[in-house]
Each structure stands twice: as structure tokens, then as C-alpha cells.
Structure 1
Amino acid sequence: MSEPASLPQPPVAKKVPTERRHHGDVFVDDYEWLRDKENPEVIAHLQAENAYTEAVTAHQQQLREAIFNEIKERTEETDLSVPARKRGWWYFTRTAEGQQYPIHCRVAARDTGDATADWTPPVVEPGKPFAGEQVLLDGNAEAEGHPFFSIGGMAVTEDGNLLAYAADYAGDERFVLRFKDLATGELRPDTIEGVFYGVAFSPDGTRAYYTVVDETWRPHQIKSHTLGTDPAADTVLFQEDDPGMWTGFDLSPDRTELLISVGNSEYSETHTLDLTDAAARPRLLLSREARILHGMDPVILPGGRAYLVTHNREAVNNMVSLVRTEEFAKPLAAQEWTTVVAHREDVKVEGTAVTSTHVVVSVRKDTTERVQVLPLAGLGTPEQAEPVEPVFGEELYTCALANAEFDSPLVRLTYTSYLVPPRVYDYALADGALTLRKETPVKGGYDPSDYVAERDWATASDGTGIPVSIVRRRGVMADGTNPALVYGYGSYEISMDPGFSIARLSLLDRGVVFVVAHVRGGGELGRRWYDDGKKLAKKNSFTDFIAVTEHIVATGWADPKRVAAMGGSAGGLLMGAVLNLAPQLYAAVVAQVPFVDALTSILDPDLPLSALEWEEWGNPIQDPEVYSYMKSYSPYDNVVAAPYPKVAAVTSFNDTRVLYVEPAKWVQRLREMTTGSAPIVMKIEMDAGHGGASGRYEAWKDRAWDYAFVLDALGAADRV
């Protein structure tokens, strides 16, 4: 597959110089005018970018269609999730061939007195109705007539009679909250606009709780809505005015308490709200003044209610302590905190979940996520049992808690790896028995033994060992001839965990070596791994990625002329920074919703989420050292005269997290400065948000587009 002999000319945006002045530094930005999304000239320019991209990549259409069809042919389109029990119902979702969105359903559960039987999910068949099945919400019907659709939260009252759901019809992650009477199927008149993710009911079902964002898209209010009343009269239960703090809530396991959390990446605060009392107001448990990053789960123990606190108090990788409710009324120094899970340098404690009898602890060890279980009996005493960890046979896998119902004798786990499609297990709390409920089917004769996933280590410029995951077809050898795609993220302590991807098989089957660079700034090796890739250490993320790229070439896994890179959002910043530092290493780069004008965005506290970002990157408004450091790596500020490779910036017009203007400006600057002839394109979804277009088929098309761009650049269009 080859490009057209002569490429069309790319759109050239006019230059309107705008000065950005901070700390005595002046940066002239010629393309800031593209930020005005209401300007018809901006819209016309974006449409011209799409037309140019379509023309430049038209020869990839056949390859895109092939990849899309491969994804479709391998996917069990008519399928369903494993039913999960809540109170007297089993809840599950169905998907149907030809339909974009899941259908949310339920069937009544039974109570025979045999706990094992009562918590064994019913056998529901794909494509066949189950006796007594009720449709709660059909995403396909909800999406009809809208260019975009996604769900931001669902909740059912304790009596099972009322559904609340939050829907986004534009992609801007501002949701409409609606209420449905499940007995009649009718929508209640209560409609609340502009809510954020998440919704919960009071135990009696008369009140709903939700979050509201401010003008910068920062969740700052928790509100209570009394069903049947005017939403304009809803009560503000909690408001956070610090622009650098994020607000959210969780429902306690016994559903009687709302835990309101306020925080950033470095410290947090927790309030509790008694949901059994309509007149109650939030009560402070642990203040931000303690500067402790933490999360809480209430537990009921002999002697009363207490809290399991996962925290970093003198524990960089976190530990879990048991704190009685009355202790929080004392000064912090006088409080008694009893160790439940001790701190370890080689294990990061991610959090806890609680049932009426057990605690499930999520941990990260040897880069991978797994779970540990211990009984509540004896918790925090010398009689406390040792935690038990389910054991699996692979080195690189992800085991996570999917659901822990308070009154269940089981907890539900999900398991996946680079080679194993997602599995659903029920773990018996009494004896640790694992029961496989489902493995996601892969059609077309997929055999995991045809592929290999292995861990390698690259060496950073400062001598640090960087974990590298390498996934390939078994017959692909380290002979220096292979095409390779290196993927990375490296921010917010988010780990790139092992997981199966049907779409990725289309790369592997074309001989591509898929590489994950677990760079600093992620969370794979604990909190210090994150701290070593943020703020004034952010450049470690970029140099780590380059070191991984050089490593796979040096060890023979990749042909030096056939390496591509891919990353999204903060991983898009990674792509932009790496391009400026080492453009010669890559044949192509795909930057998805890329955060490439980072300094401009974070310098404006009125832009969405900018103030919240100060804990990740530093505050360049107040700190000249942070300003200087960020300016030295922010991709848009550092485009140089160099032979840039093929670049695709993929973005969305309604993205709230990374505004479309960032890649729009960036591609103009890249084209202006490149000394090479490789095309630089921008593909913009005009009806989508940060996650791209909605609907599974549209998502498959997006993935096929990205992969076709990479495969074409690597000369790997044909299956091997």
C-alpha cells in the first residue's frame, strides 16, 4: 500500500500573533485564535483539516475496512454480562448484533436460605429472553436521534422501584439526570441538567444525590434532590471552593452513609453524611490540614462503627489502618490508628472494599494489580488473619475487584492479561474457592498459545530500570526486522496494566511487536515511580520512553526504520515531547486527544480543570521555576526545525478535558517547522468527546483508523 504520488496541500491557518507574558518571558502564539469554537472561520478550518486528512489517508481505507472487519468478526456481537446481584434482583447487560449500545436488564432473584444457591447467577443466554426479564434502559433507544450517547451513572432504589440514570448526548461529559418508574416504565418529570458522573439514592428512595461542576468543569458541589420537587430547589449539601480540589462521593457498603471526598493527587479530606436522616448534614472525619492522601470504607465491628483508612501517613506506598468513629473527634496526634495492612516498599496498597464479613484489599506488586482477602473477625487485633491472595498462572496479568455486595458470601473478580480475554470469577469468602463464570469469547479460532507476552527491562539515561511489556506472535523473532508500536502514558499515577484487546490482534497478526513502555509518572512500581515522573521530574517520562524505544531496537525486537509510537491525552503530551526530542526514532506517531499545549492551558485557571492540574505539573502562574521547566518540554512551545515523521493528531470537538485547539495549533506549528516531507494530519470528530465517538462500532472504526495509519507507515499492511 503506497501513498498517492502527489499529496494535496494542507490547510494553512492564518497567523494572529498573541503574546503570552509570564515571569518576564514572552511567547508569541500565532494560532491561539483557533480556540474560539463559535467562530465560523475556525469551524471551516477544522473541516478543511478533516478533508485534508481524508485525502492524504484515502489509500488506507481498504486497510481500515479490513481491520474493522477483523474486530467485528472476532467479537461476539450478541452477548451479555454475568448477572450481578443487588438486593432482590440480578442485573446484567445485553449487546445485540448491529446495535451500538448495551441494553441494561434485570431478573428477580430468589431467596431459599441456601446462600450459595441464592448467590449463584442465573444462566442467561445471549440473544434469548429470560423468563421475567425486565429492560431497565436500552442505550440504543436512548441514543436515537443524537450524534453521541454515553451513561455517566446509574442507580436503583433499595426497593427496586426507581431507576436514576445520567446521560450525555454531546460528548462534553455534562449529563442529564432522569428518573424512571420501573413498575410503569414511565419517566418521572424530575429532570436535572448539567450534572457530573455518579448518582446515589437515600435508603428510603425519596432523595437522590449528585455532583455539579463549576465553570471550569471541576466537580465542586454535592446536591440532594427530593423526588417530585423542582430541581431548582435542590439542597447544596457540600461545596468546595478551592480551585485545586476535586469533589466526589461514594456510597457506603451498607448504603446508609455517603462518603464525600475532596482532594488532589497529594492530599485529601473526607466527610460523612448519614443517609438515614433527611435533615443530616456532612460531618468532617479527616481534614485536608493533615495533608494525608487517603480513602475510607466504613465497617461494623464489635463495639460499633469504624473506618478502614487507606493512607500514606508515614507510608509512601500506603497502608491500611482501622480507626474507630469516635477517634476522629480528637486531634490527629491523639487519635488511635491500628494497623491492618502494614506499609511495604515493594507493594502499593491501592484501596479496600468491604462486605459484612470480609475486607478485600487491592494491591500492586511486581507492577501488576491483584487482590487480597481477609476476614473482619479479629481485624486490628492480634488474632487478625493473614490476607489470602487468589493465585493465577501468568506473570503479567490484572486481577481486580468488580463487585463486593455487602451481604454476599462471594466477591466478584475480573481477570485478564495480554493473552487471556477478560474472565469473571466469583471468589467464595468462606474458603477461597474460585468459580469461573465467564470468559469473553473471541471468535475465529483464537488460540492464546499463538502469542507471547513477556517482561523486559530497559535502562534509563540515569540508570533506572524501566519495565517493558512485549507482546508478539510466537513466530516473531528478535532478528532486527520487525515493525513495532510503542505505547505509553506516564501520568497521574495511572498504570498501563496488562489487558486483552481484540483490536490489537490485527497488529500482532501483521507481525507488529506491540510494546508498552511503563515510564515514570505512572504507578506500576509504586508511589515513588509516580513522583519521579511529575512536576519538576516530568522529563523522566519522556526520556524513559525514548530509552525503551532504543532498547527494543538494540535487542533486535524492532527494525530501527519501522518503529511507531502511540499515546493519548497525557500520553499525547508524551508523544509530542518525544517527537521534539528524538523525531528520528519513529516512522509515525499517533497522538490521541493530545495534551500538547500544556503550558498555555495550565496558565489559564479559567480553562477546564487547569487549577486541578497544578498538583500534577506544578503551578507555572506562581512559580517561575515551574514555568521555565514546563516551557522547556511543552510540545507546542518546543517544536524545532527537524525532519518530523508522519504524525496523526486525533481529537474531538467537544472534548472537555483536552480542548481540540491544542492539537489544532500543534499540527500548524509542526508543518511550519518540519524539514521533512512526511504528512502531518489532524482528524477531528465533530460530535464526540475525550473518549472519541460513542457506540461500539464507531469505536472500532476509530481504532481501525489509528492502526491503519501506523501499519501503513511501517509497511506492515499484510497479514503474516
Structure 2
Amino acid sequence: MKFKLFFSIAVTALLAMSCGPKATTPKPPVAKKIAKELTIHGDTRIDNYYWMNQREDTAVINYLKAENSYTDAMMKHTEEFQTKLFDEMIARIKKTDESVPAKSNGFYYYSRTEGDAEYPLYCRKEGDLDAEEQIMLNVPEMAQGYSFFSIGDYSVSENNKILAYSEDTLSRRRYTIKFKSLVDDKVYSDEIVNTTGGITWASDNKTVFYTVKHPETLLPYKVFKHVLGTPVEKDELVYEEKDNTFYTFCYKTKSRKYIIIGSTSTLSAEYRYIDASKPNSEFSIFQAREKDLEYSIDHFKGDFYIRTNYQAKNFRLMKTPVTKTTKENWMEVIPNRDDVYLSNFEIFENYLVVGERKNGLNQLRIRRWADNEEHYLDFGEETYDAWISTNPEFETDVLRYGYTSLTTPSSTIDYNMTTKVKTVMKQQEVVGDFDKSNYEAKRIWATAEDGTKVPVSLVYRKDKFKKGTNPLWLSAYGSYGSSSDVYFSSVRLSLLDRGFVVATAHVRGGQEMGRYWYEDGKLLKKKNTFTDFNTCAEYMVAEGYAAKDKVFAWGGSAGGLLMGAICNMRPDLYRGVIAAVPFVDVVTTMLDESIPLTTGEFDEWGNPKNKEYYDYMLSYSPYDNVEAKDYPAMLVTTGLHDSQVQYWEPAKWVAKLRDMKTDHNPLLIKINMDFGHGGASGRFERYHEVALEYAFVLDLVGITK
């Protein structure tokens, strides 16, 4: 039963003063404290803002709106600057643009944008690129009338005649699957709600497999089979995941011969498969799940290929006949190496391509099947990112890969693996006077408290750099083994051209330096992530890449947890901090298994029902460690419909900080009432939030134009 909320909100609007230059200072909202006792392991925490977790409560909504009003008032003097920043950001973006077409099953598929449209058109051409264009999805038309609109996935039937696609109109990542004839544009009446968005066609051109989410936790947990034209409510359940620490999903192998159901947790995996031409057959288990056994599979000719950590900390590549899939039959193709992490692979008729990570950088390794002759691609820059791109066809010697660096715009490159000739198919065009020679990128190494060398990638504009004087924008993520690879950003030029050094700290908890790097930044070693970041900030100041009083930090989601932790641990290091959709109420969230994603993350953070993990988690949880002391200036962002990190975490955190902190630095929160975890869906609209973040930081260092 809902309890009645009593709290006071005091917001004074910014007043325009006609008789003097000074404006009245806005006053922030003050949330009423309603003590909630949370007891476990004999320990009681008092949460005064627990009441904020009622998304449908009018009083909560009014409080969030009051916070927005306060932020708007505090940032009002930057409104013109925000508009200028937004305008210059989108002015660098080529408005009418097109992706590089990718050939699949006789058609070339691509997307393109027109003018000021926020959304793309998804198109194809049959046979060759001179054929007539067919617009499969006109997303600008589809998105009309929605504050948020996103296409999750689209998939074409084997006979190329029917398009299945998924859409989200709320930003909760709960997609509705729909179907459309590509012969006469007829839209079928079949609609499947509450899915992950993924769609897998069987070979019969009428059967699709899809995954639905748990109605409360949003965990993907059931795979259904739908036959086009039949009632959705009669769809057959083909798999249900009973372990709520696992996520389930479905896909088709590159060979198009097998349909795969996967179930994975942080540290374990299990796959099932059927012949794609026999959609009514029973799924067979590939290799039963085992604790700490991770693997993923694809198919080529008579074998399945397996990327796995089986007796291989940094993963290795193996294969097995399709008739003998359990691990005792697996044969090694590429061995484990202590200094090289095997991240992914792509199979072609004549070549194997392996994505690897060494010394913090991605590498692409090419091996010819005929004689095992191999070579690596040379990228020629000190810090960069390269990845295997879209390669749906087996019968080609051309590898399509992507490349970018802090100074090189994102590029799509076709590489002939036989002749070793690279062809740049497309490079992101930066509209205006961008010249990459004006900028310099470097990779440096900071030494952590335990002696570990932590890489930092940085970029600055040469003519704006003066040792020891520049403001610094330092970001990191550091969780889930997700590596923070560098990339070019035309938006970032708005900081670089105003004298900022922009850097990424590749802290532990990511996987930049291999599997060991990840394991040293999770569970009972999570604090390494936070201390690594602080070390990197200190090192950059010491080496003259930043002024001591102009260090700014940015992190989002789990990177927002990092922001909260560094604010508690070393608030003196930072002039300002931006925490985007931050995961800051760690203990309470991880104790509540009804909250989306909680149970699937016990292997990442630990289960606080275990006292050892509870105590450790409690020692760093940003919300639980707010103290009466000075904090940096802070801007926090969230979305009301966020399904990844619930809005109340940052809202509670800000309320507690405002009540306890002893400084007079600005503390602002911006709640997007229409969107979720990923922010706005439009290609330009999303930059309004970036303009707010940039204006917040630039204003703090006195840059107003």
C-alpha cells in the first residue's frame, strides 16, 4: 500500500531584475526526510529518501519537476551558450548521409539520413548498387507523435520477402515486434510485445523466434516461437531460463543453418541449437553450463567454432564437429596467451579473422585456412580502435572493418586479405574547417597504488596546449569487462577548440589489458577501479596535462558509480563532476531482486545477502558514504523511464548530498521525463544534454563563448 508522502519543496524562480544587474539566487528543492530502516546482517541503515522509488506517485513526479526547474534556473545564464554549443555540434554533422552498403543474401542493405530528419531510412537494393532503392523502414514517418522512438532490430526472411522489425516508444527497452511485406508494403496484424527486440527467422519464411522480458525484473528469460498469421497468444514456449542470474537470447549462425538459443551470466554460458530448416524440432544442448565456463559459438561447414575460457584465462578459439559438441571433443585452433586477450572472431571461406587485445589495444589477425599463413593489420597510430565490422557473406576475401582514433574520424575499410590492399569505403565527414593535424593524441601510463601501470589515452589541440594550465575532461567506465576504447568525436571538438585536454582512463574493471584487468576491478577488488581513476587524475596534473584546479570527471551508468565513489574518496581532486544515469545506491539495489537487472549482476558486484560482499559494497556505495564535507560542483542526469539504473538512485543521492555537503558549489540534477538510460533517440536531439554538460563545465572555468 502506498504511503502518503509529506515533504516540502522550496523553489524560487530566477527573476529578471529590471533595475539592477544582479539576479536572485535560486533556492534548491528540499526533500522531506521519511526514515526507512533497512536491516540485514545485524546492520541497520537509515534511508531518508526511500520514498522516491514510486514512479507513478504524483508527489514524486512533482519533486522531480522541481529539481528540473531548479537546474533550469541555475543554468539560465548559460542558455544562449548552450544553444551556441548545440548549433556548432550539429553543424559539424553531415545531415544528408549514407552508410556503406553490406551485401546479404543477394541484397545490399544500408541506412541513410536526409536533411534535418532525426531518424534514418532503412533501405536495400537488389543485386547491385545501381538497382532501384527500396525503403524498408521510413523511421522519420514512424516516429511522428512520439517523444522517443527507437528501432531495436530488423531481420528479413530467407526468401527476402518479409521484414520483421522491433520498436520501442517509451525508452524502457521493451520492444514490440511487427511484420511487413517487402513485396506490397502490407503491414501484418501480428504484433508481439515486451520483447528484447531481437528477431530470428527460421528457413521456412514464416517462423520466427523471439525473447520476452520478465514483467517485473525485465530480465530476458523466455524464448517463444511465432508462426506468421497465427494468434500471438498461442505462440509456443521453446525455452524458459529458470536461473535469474542468466540472460537468454536467440540468433542464427552466419552460415544461416542453425538457430541458437543462448543463456549467459557474468561467468557462465550455455547454448542450444536446432537446424534452421526444422523449426519444430527440439533444441539440443551444445555444452551444459558449468560454473566459470564461458563460451560462444558460430558455425562453418562441418564444424562449430567456439570462443571459450575453458582452461584459458584470456580465452582461446576451438572447434568441434556438429555431431560432437560437448567440451571433451573441442580441438584447439588458437591457444590461450597470458598477454593477449582473444575477444572475437569472424569466419570466411578462405580466411579466419581474429579480434585480439594486447597492451590495451585492439588488433586484427588474419589467418589463411589453406596453410595457416597469417599476418596482423598495421594501424600506424599510438592509440586507436579497430574492430571487425559487418561481414554477412562467407564467399569473399574482403574483410570489412572499422577504424577510428582520437584524431581520425570513424572509417569503414574493406581489406582484401589476399592482396593486402586497404580501401577506405567511407570516413565520417566533419563539416567545417576540421584539420586533424591541429590535434595531438598520446597514450601515457600512470602508476597505481599497488604498482600497476594504468594506460590513459588523451588528445588536445596543439595551439591551445600550455603545460600545466589546461582544463581536463577525464572519463572512464571500468565495469563488466567493457573496455573504454578511444574514438573520434566531432562533438568533442567543442571542448578541444576551447583549450580542454580530453582523456580516457583505462581503469581496471574494463578488459583493455585482458581478463586479469577485468578481474582486478570487480567483486572484492572493485575499489581498484576508483583508486586507478584518482591516480590517473593526479598523474595528469603532475605531468602538466592539466591545471590542478581545472580537473573535471565524467562517467555514465556504472561509470556514474565511479563518479560517486571518487567524489567521496577524493573530492579535493576535482573542480567538477558529471555523473550520467549513475548507479549510486549499490547496496539497496543489489538487495532488491525485483529491480531490473539485479540478479544478473551478482557475479559483477557480489550478492550483499552474503555478509562479506555486503560489508565491502557498503564501504564504497556512493549513496551510503555521503558525508558532511566539501564536494566538487556536480551535475547529475537521469531518465524517468530508465530500465538499467532506476531514476530514484541519482535523485536520492542528490537529495542526500544537498542535505549534508558543506560547500557552496552547484549541485544540479536533470531528469529527462520522456527518456530512459540511453537518453534521447533522435540523432540531433541527444546533443541538447551534451550542450548542457559542456556549458556546466565551461562555465566553471569561466569560458562563456
TM-score by length of 2: 0.95
Query: What is the distance in 1 between the residues matched to 2:196 and 2:267?
Result: 23
- Tell me the secondary structure at the aligned position of residue 236 of structure 1: strand
Query: What is the distance in 2 between the residues matched to 1:418 and 1:583?
Result: 28
Q: CA deviation at 1:387?
A: 3.1
Q: 1:108 aligns with which of 82, 104, 126?
A: 126
Q: Deviations over 1:348-406 (max 9, x none)?
A: 101222233332211112212232222344xxxxx5x1432222221211111111223
1:390 and 1:166, CA in 2 relative to 1: closer, same or farther beyond 3 A? same
Q: Deviations over 1:594-626 (max 9, x none)?
A: 0011111011111101001101001111x1010
In terms of mean alpha carbon deviation, does 250-259 or 141-150 score higher?
250-259
Partner of 1:309: 306
CA contact (8 A) 2:315 2:336 kept: yes
Q: Deviations over 1:36-87 (max 9, x none)?
A: 0111000000100100000001112122112111111111111111111111
- Tell me the secondary structure at the aligned position of residue 685 of structure 2: helix
The reply on whether 1:556 has 2:552 as its aligned counterpart is no
Aligned length: 683
Query: What is the distance in 2 between the residues matched to 1:355 and 1:240?
Result: 33
Query: What is the distance in 2 between the residues matched to 1:291 and 1:520?
Result: 20
The reply on whether 1:356 has 2:374 as its aligned counterpart is no
Q: CA deviation at 1:261?
A: 1.6
The reply on whether 1:258 has 2:259 as its aligned counterpart is yes
TM-score by length of 1: 0.93
Q: Deviations over 1:136-156 (max 9, x none)?
A: 001111111111001111101
Query: What is the distance in 2 between the residues matched to 1:675 and 1:546?
Result: 22
Q: CA deviation at 1:291?
A: 3.5
CA contact (8 A) 1:563 1:714 kept: no
Q: CA deviation at 1:640?
A: 0.8
Q: 1:339 aligns with which of 332, 341, 346?
A: 332
Q: Deviations over 1:270-304 (max 9, x none)?
A: 1112211132121101111263111111121xxxx
Letter of the structure 1 residue corresponding to residue 419 of structure 2: D
Q: CA deviation at 1:184?
A: 1.0
Q: CA deviation at 1:547?
A: 0.5
Q: CA deviation at 1:229?
A: 0.5
CA contact (8 A) 1:4 1:59 kept: no
Q: CA deviation at 1:4?
A: 7.0
Gaps of 5+ in 2: 1-20
Q: CA deviation at 1:5?
A: 5.6
CA contact (8 A) 1:295 1:351 kept: no
CA contact (8 A) 1:355 1:405 kept: no
Partner of 1:185: 185
CA contact (8 A) 2:406 2:486 kept: yes
Letter of the structure 1 residue corresponding to residue 191 of structure 2: T
Letter of the structure 2 residue corresponding to residue 363 of structure 1: E
In terms of mean alpha carbon deviation, does 481-490 or 317-326 score higher?
317-326
Query: What is the distance in 1 between the residues matched to 2:704 and 2:503?
Result: 18
Partner of 2:669: 682
- Tell me the secondary structure at the aligned position of residue 492 of structure 2: helix
Q: CA deviation at 1:134?
A: 0.9
> Any residues of structure 2 matched to 1:39-78 within 5 Å, and which?
39-78=57-96
Partner of 1:160: 160
CA contact (8 A) 2:258 2:273 kept: yes
Partner of 2:621: 634
1:523 and 1:469, CA in 2 relative to 1: closer, same or farther beyond 3 A? same
Partner of 2:115: 97
Q: CA deviation at 1:476?
A: 3.8
Identity rate of aligned residues, in percent?
40
Partner of 2:407: 419
Q: CA deviation at 1:716?
A: 3.3
CA contact (8 A) 1:593 1:649 kept: yes
Query: What is the distance in 1 between the residues matched to 2:201 and 2:156?
Result: 7
CA contact (8 A) 2:486 2:504 kept: no
Partner of 1:380: none
Letter of the structure 2 residue corresponding to residue 7 of structure 1: T
In terms of mean alpha carbon deviation, does 592-601 or 291-300 score higher?
291-300
- Tell me the secondary structure at the aligned position of residue 325 of structure 2: helix
Partner of 1:86: 104
Q: CA deviation at 1:325?
A: 2.6
CA contact (8 A) 2:120 2:138 kept: yes
- Tell me the secondary structure at the aligned position of residue 627 of structure 1: helix
Q: 1:373 aligns with which of 366, 376, 388?
A: 366
Partner of 2:233: 232
Letter of the structure 2 residue corresponding to residue 221 of structure 1: K
- Tell me the secondary structure at the aligned position of residue 293 of structure 2: coil
The reply on whether 1:566 has 2:554 as its aligned counterpart is yes
Aligned-residue CA RMSD in angstroms?
1.5
Query: What is the distance in 1 between the residues matched to 2:352 and 2:259?
Result: 19
Partner of 1:406: 393
Query: What is the distance in 2 between the residues matched to 1:658 and 1:611?
Result: 14
Q: CA deviation at 1:475?
A: 2.3
In terms of mean alpha carbon deviation, does 24-33 or 343-352 score higher?
343-352
Q: CA deviation at 1:478?
A: 5.1
The reply on whether 1:442 has 2:430 as its aligned counterpart is yes
CA contact (8 A) 1:495 1:522 kept: yes
CA contact (8 A) 1:478 1:555 kept: no
Q: CA deviation at 1:337?
A: 2.7
The reply on whether 1:27 has 2:45 as its aligned counterpart is yes
